Amino acid sequence: MESFIWYIPLLPLLGAIINGVFGKLLKEKAGIVANLTILGSFYFTVKAFLYVKDGITFNGNLFTWISAGNLQVPFGVLVDQLSIIIMLVVTGVGFLIHLYSIGYMHGDPGVARYFAYLNLFVFSMLLLVMGNNLVLLYLGWEGVGLCSYLLIGFWYEKHSAARAGMKAFITNRVGDFGFALGIFLIFSTLGTIQYAEIFQQVDKLAAAGVLTAATLLLFVGATGKSAQFPLYIWLPDAMEGPTPVSALIHAATMVTAGVYMVARFNLLYAMSEVAQAVVVTIGTFTAVFAATMALVNNDIKRVLAYSTISQLGYMFIGVGVGAFAAGIFHLMTHAFFKALLFLGAGSVMHALANNTDIRKMGGLYPKIKITAITFIVAWLAISGIPPFAGFFSKDEILAKAFAYSPVVWVFGALGAVLTAFYMSRLVFLTFFGKFRGGEELEHHIHESPPVMTIPLSILAILSAIGGFVGVPELLGGSNHFEHFLEPVFERAQEHLHFAHVSHGLEYTLMATSVLLALAGIGFAYLMYIKGTISPAKMTERFKGIYTVLYHKYYVDEFVEAAIIRPLLAFSRWLWHVVDDGIIDGIVNLVGKVTILFGLIFRRIQTGYVQNYAAFIVLGVILILAYYIFG
Amino acid sequence: MQVPIAHFLILAAILFSLGVLGVVIRRNAIVIFMSIELMLNSVNLTFLAFSNYLQNVEGQVLVFLVMVVAAAEVAVGLAIIVAIFRIRETVHVDDIKLLKW
């Protein structure tokens, strides 16, 4: 495996360099370069997967990257059951999105730049996943953050896009600060940043009493990158970027980095009950909180963004309660159906001249059938309708959550109802009923080219059947997925304590969650298709709640008032008083004193030879006087 | 009777001081020039006085040297003054300040 494993991250880097340097020459061909590199990367990942499937994992170093004192950072990769799954998602789903991008970005003047960023993103993401130490993880972590910033602000001439990029970057800085502190804490306690050594010496970490602190600091980073409360605010705005970017970075891969990180450090989290409780609490709260905001939003991409935040919350419930395999399972299925939803939304926007307002859509089903059908598959998957992928993964998480604490299950189920409702609302308003966007636009509607619909179809198939790799034993499956991941989470098991849940109860829970999802869909059906319940009347009746939800709980306003404004004022104070006043003042003072001396002494230098002669004479007289009288 | 050497030296000192004063105070290039000549000649007088006093001829030899140098210097100096006068129509040194910033 060592012979080809390095190609996996390096191919996308090569693509990024080629597209970055020769982009002006390549123009539209940049898409082909980018696709080939990702395809190659995917090929080698599959090859590596075949080894891992047989139980052969790889942990090796290419070279020493940093060597300073007792800090040794090798450039090394770890390919085990956990990382190979994420690598498959990153390169596989990544390839489909690259393919889709050829159609979506066709004709954009910055297409080469776009593909260079996208390739660089895949490289960073693979580095994040494959690295066998914390510093490489951090490098990838920052790399994906950078690419996210660059791609959100891809249309930088649009003010809102540039602002959204900055918002994402700065919000992530807050999280990454905690993440870096976590790494420092682990390094200063153990003197190593290699995963293998950290897991070996984990008892030392616990004995030093920093285990909880370290895991919580790392989790701060995860809340930033994976858009959990309270650092989720950047993700909805990130929708300013091109839609395939939202699919790849802000749904399928980058935002799941936090989930991967927690799963990677499963042993550390399993050993700290406090950390587990915090992860579960944040995850549960975010899952419901974000879902409520999705209920009333009218922007097709923003609804999906809130949905992503909510689904990430579920993943954190999974890894938080100790059901690491379930969390990763949901990560994978979510990558399928959420990427599909975003790409579908992109296809809809493509058909409607970039309109994203669902109030101006409707009745699109007969006109863009492939998009509509694939979107519907994804809708059923995310709503948790069996046998689509989302049902198995979400149910797995909810079952384990119940064993951890029934309260978490209640909130998880509530989130599931809300998810089913807002997704149904989205689907019904977009694809059914009458078109509300005006006649001129209606004339324009057309299906996307095959280069876009083929990725949609493949993702639809994956969303439909992807869940079968992890059918729980309860339903007569053998849960291949969990068994595959077992070696990675083996050591954590002894620290986890689940309450016993009888089979009967598990069936009941499963049936309940499906019924709740159906109820959510049914309610949306009554509201938006049948019209039995008028949405306008509902709005009128729950005006207070509606307003709060519509304004996203005024969190942005709060952040603006409580953090941004004071920070800006403080920065201005630093600028005007400290920098302009004190620092520049000192520098200017030196200059002014010099000028003052110059003004005085330049009077001696008149330029008249006679004056100089006079000075010479004066000097001679003084010297003579010294010899005569002195 | 022999004139005491002190008289020669005092006269030379007075002439030299006048020359210095002329160089420092006067603004006309020609007058400055003449003042320089005055200083040179006061030095010559000193040489001659000591030559006579010490009964040594070397002092008189040096006087010739000074006169030759002075003649050459006057030739070059007057040429410069004439050249400047042709361009600027003045020999007033306050007006000749091309190098002053």
Q: Please report the DSSP string for A323-390 in residue order.
A: -HHHHHHHHHHHHHHHHHHHHHHHHHHHHTTT--BGGG----TTTSHHHHHHHHHHHHHHHT-TTSHH
A153, A166 Cβ separation under 8 angstroms: yes
The residue among A599, A331, A288, A355 whose CA lies nearest residue A485 is: A331
Cα–Cα distances in angstroms (integers) from residue A363 to residues A406, A427, A428, A573, in the given order: 41, 10, 8, 55
pLDDT block averages, 10 residues each, chain A of length 630? 86 92 85 92 93 88 86 89 92 93 88 92 93 92 93 91 91 92 92 89 86 92 90 90 90 91 92 91 93 89 92 93 91 93 91 84 85 92 88 89 90 91 91 82 83 91 88 78 86 82 85 90 88 80 84 86 91 93 94 93 80 88 92
A409, A398 Cβ separation under 8 angstroms: yes
A227, A259 Cβ separation under 8 angstroms: no
Within 13 A of A558's CA, how many CA atoms are on the CB side?
Answer: 9
Size of interface A-B (CB pairs under 8 A): 22
The residues facing A85 across adjacent strands are none
The nearest CA of chain A is from the CA of B1 a distance in Å of 31
A132, A119 Cβ separation under 8 angstroms: no
B98 CB within 8 Å of a chain A CB:
no
| Residue A327 pLDDT | 92
Q: What angle do CA A455, A456, A459 make, to 5 degrees?
A: 85
Q: What angle, 0 to 180 degrees and rounded to 10, lies between the N-to-C axes of helices A159-190 and A211-225?
A: 160
User: What is the distance between the alpha carbons of residues A101 and A121, in angstroms, rounded to a whole number?
Assistant: 14
Q: Which residues of B touch A628 (CB under 8 A)?
A: none
| Residue B100 pLDDT | 61
Rg over alpha carbons for chain B, rounded to the nearest Å, is 17
> Cα dihedral sign for A234, A240, A246, A251?
positive
The encoded tokens of residue A325 equal 């395999």
Show which residues on chain A lie within 8 Å of chain B, measured between beta carbons.
606-610, 613-614, 617
| Residue B99 pLDDT | 65
| Residue A309 pLDDT | 93
Q: Which residues of A touch B99 (CB under 8 A)?
A: 607
| Residue A17 pLDDT | 93
pTM, rounded to two decimals? 0.80
The encoded tokens of residue A234 equal 């950047």
A418, A288 Cβ separation under 8 angstroms: yes
Q: Which residues of B touch A614 (CB under 8 A)?
A: 24
Q: Is the pLDDT of residue B101 over 60?
A: no
Q: Which residues of B touch A598 (CB under 8 A)?
A: none
- Classified as helix, coil or strand, B80 is helix
Q: What angle, 0 to 180 degrees and rounded to 10, lies between the N-to-C axes of helices A389-404 and A503-525?
A: 130
Give the residue from chain B lying closest to A614, CA to CA. Answer: B24
B66 CB within 8 Å of a chain A CB:
no
Cβ of B93 within 8 Å of Cβ of A610? The answer is yes
